[in-house]
Structure 1
């Protein structure tokens, strides 16, 4: 493994993190509705589990999913139902005023963990990227470096997102358009959940 492999991995990872999906939508929504601290906390939860999925891919978990497809199907079904639940909650509470009390950072962190823990496609994505980019037979130290690098990129991205989205001007615009933003985000998450549930 050399620097070019790490750079290629970081480019692919950055594109994946920034693409619209459950993790990004929840991170944006949490920051806008509950502030910077909760936004950073949900990002830490998302990043920690994403890095653990990369570790799982390095250890060959995708092979286990291939051998035991029922395990993948079970995790996928639970993840899809969780996304649909989050979408339902967002839709129902779209018109509700944001309370002065903020979402506790511990709750936001747990939500970030749940979003990525119940998304087994993350390990399949990680496995595909790792196979394409990195050479086979890497040492334990190199594998741990890849995982630590992944975690650092995730934390930096979501912390930067939380700082950017928590400015007063952005928050005020969100409050004015909250019902529309929440309904669109709920629709996207709901569709992603349904797709994950019914996709083979």
Structure 2
């Protein structure tokens, strides 16, 4: 997992990276212009903050929000980690995090009157996802935010439990995806299977017209 974000207006010249879910108890250590965040109990790194990031990698001037780092940028960040005395390395994660999935199964949650436990076919297998949308049904093509995705509002998608059932991702509504003119109501977005085949990366630009209103 490698999630990166940058917002100079809000945070200054700082690149934030996340490599693992937040731990219950975290601490940090600073070496030079890099801060490592880690799980106190296990010692596992959960992220790095790179200060004066534009001196390490180029192309940040026009960025705001999530950034998809290429191999060269990750190599430069790893070199900075090494120069500052950190032993671990970042790994490029180029797999799409928003994909088209197919609802193969949807069953009522055993401990909820509104949640459903679903099995979703995606690009690299199947995901169990607990979903609270009232309109989810077997046989739908839907948008899946996989573990490691950053939602448009900045929310990160990690594995979780809902009422005791494991969930590995999120079935998205058009509102949550912040598509133009998206309906401001509950309910997942159901896709046309011919236009959005199962396993493909979800194309935000292509979907931007879905809720256009005629002039």
TM-score by length of 1: 0.24
Question: Which protein has greater RCO, CA pairs closer than 8 Å, 6+ apart?
Answer: 1
TM-score by length of 2: 0.22
Query: Per residue, is there more helix in 1 or in 2?
Result: 1
Of structures 1 and 2, the larger Rg is shown by 2
